[in-house]
Amino acid sequence: MDTKANKNKTRIQVSVDTDLKNEAEEVLNSLGMTATTAITMLFKRIVATDSYPVNLQMTEKEKASLELSKTLKSVPVKKLNNKKEIAEFFEDDNENQ
Protein backbone atom coordinates (compact mmCIF):
# COMPACT_ATOMS: atom_id res chain seq x y z
CA MET A 1 0.00 0.00 0.00
CA ASP A 2 1.63 3.25 -1.21
CA THR A 3 1.11 6.31 0.90
CA LYS A 4 1.30 9.76 -0.61
CA ALA A 5 4.61 10.40 1.18
CA ASN A 6 6.21 7.27 -0.31
CA LYS A 7 5.15 8.03 -3.90
CA ASN A 8 7.85 10.72 -4.23
CA LYS A 9 10.66 8.63 -2.72
CA THR A 10 13.47 6.92 -4.59
CA ARG A 11 15.70 4.18 -3.24
CA ILE A 12 19.44 4.82 -3.58
CA GLN A 13 21.76 1.85 -3.27
CA VAL A 14 25.51 2.33 -2.74
CA SER A 15 28.40 0.07 -1.80
CA VAL A 16 30.75 1.14 0.97
CA ASP A 17 33.33 -0.59 3.10
CA THR A 18 31.57 -2.50 5.88
CA ASP A 19 33.82 -1.16 8.65
CA LEU A 20 33.31 2.42 7.41
CA LYS A 21 29.53 1.93 7.34
CA ASN A 22 29.50 0.51 10.86
CA GLU A 23 31.70 3.28 12.26
CA ALA A 24 29.62 5.97 10.55
CA GLU A 25 26.40 4.44 11.86
CA GLU A 26 27.80 4.46 15.41
CA VAL A 27 28.49 8.19 15.12
CA LEU A 28 25.11 8.87 13.54
CA ASN A 29 23.31 6.82 16.19
CA SER A 30 25.03 8.80 18.93
CA LEU A 31 23.66 11.92 17.23
CA GLY A 32 20.17 10.39 17.10
CA MET A 33 20.27 9.98 13.34
CA THR A 34 20.04 7.20 10.79
CA ALA A 35 22.06 6.87 7.59
CA THR A 36 18.90 7.76 5.65
CA THR A 37 18.48 10.96 7.66
CA ALA A 38 22.13 11.92 7.17
CA ILE A 39 22.01 11.32 3.41
CA THR A 40 18.74 13.24 3.11
CA MET A 41 20.28 16.16 5.03
CA LEU A 42 23.36 16.03 2.76
CA PHE A 43 21.19 16.14 -0.36
CA LYS A 44 19.15 19.04 1.04
CA ARG A 45 22.35 21.03 1.71
CA ILE A 46 23.63 20.26 -1.81
CA VAL A 47 20.41 21.69 -3.26
CA ALA A 48 20.32 24.67 -0.86
CA THR A 49 23.94 25.70 -1.42
CA ASP A 50 24.33 24.52 -5.00
CA SER A 51 27.61 22.94 -3.90
CA TYR A 52 29.05 20.01 -1.98
CA PRO A 53 28.79 21.16 1.65
CA VAL A 54 31.67 19.15 3.09
CA ASN A 55 35.11 20.48 3.94
CA LEU A 56 37.42 18.47 1.69
CA GLN A 57 40.57 19.46 3.57
CA MET A 58 42.38 16.84 5.60
CA THR A 59 42.14 17.02 9.37
CA GLU A 60 45.34 17.13 11.44
CA LYS A 61 44.74 13.49 12.38
CA GLU A 62 44.40 12.51 8.70
CA LYS A 63 47.57 14.43 7.82
CA ALA A 64 49.50 12.71 10.62
CA SER A 65 48.20 9.30 9.56
CA LEU A 66 49.23 9.93 5.94
CA GLU A 67 52.68 11.11 7.02
CA LEU A 68 53.12 8.03 9.21
CA SER A 69 52.05 5.77 6.36
CA LYS A 70 54.56 7.40 4.00
CA THR A 71 57.32 7.10 6.61
CA LEU A 72 56.59 3.43 7.25
CA LYS A 73 56.74 2.68 3.52
CA SER A 74 60.28 4.09 3.41
CA VAL A 75 61.54 1.81 6.20
CA PRO A 76 63.65 -0.99 4.70
CA VAL A 77 62.30 -4.48 5.27
CA LYS A 78 64.43 -7.59 5.11
CA LYS A 79 62.66 -10.89 4.58
CA LEU A 80 64.02 -13.70 6.73
CA ASN A 81 63.30 -17.07 5.14
CA ASN A 82 64.55 -19.58 7.68
CA LYS A 83 65.82 -20.04 11.25
CA LYS A 84 69.46 -19.55 10.22
CA GLU A 85 68.73 -16.15 8.66
CA ILE A 86 66.77 -15.14 11.74
CA ALA A 87 69.62 -16.15 14.04
CA GLU A 88 72.16 -14.28 11.86
CA PHE A 89 69.95 -11.19 11.84
CA PHE A 90 69.83 -11.07 15.63
CA GLU A 91 73.56 -11.87 15.92
CA ASP A 92 74.34 -8.90 13.65
CA ASP A 93 72.03 -6.70 15.74
CA ASN A 94 73.76 -7.74 18.99
CA GLU A 95 77.22 -7.11 17.51
CA ASN A 96 76.27 -3.53 16.62
CA GLN A 97 75.37 -2.64 20.21
CA distances from 83 to 60, 86, 87 (A): 42, 5, 6
Whether the per-residue pLDDT at 96 is higher than 80: the answer is no
State pLDDT tens for residues 23-36.
999 999 999 999 99
Task: Categorize the per-residue pLDDT at 54 as very low, low, confident or very high, splitting at 50, 70 and 90.
Answer: confident
More confident site: 85 or 7: 85
Count up the domains in the chain and report the number. Answer: 1
State the residue range of the domain holding 31. 4-95
Task: Categorize the per-residue pLDDT at 1 as very low, low, confident or very high, splitting at 50, 70 and 90.
Answer: low
pTM above 0.85, yes or no: no
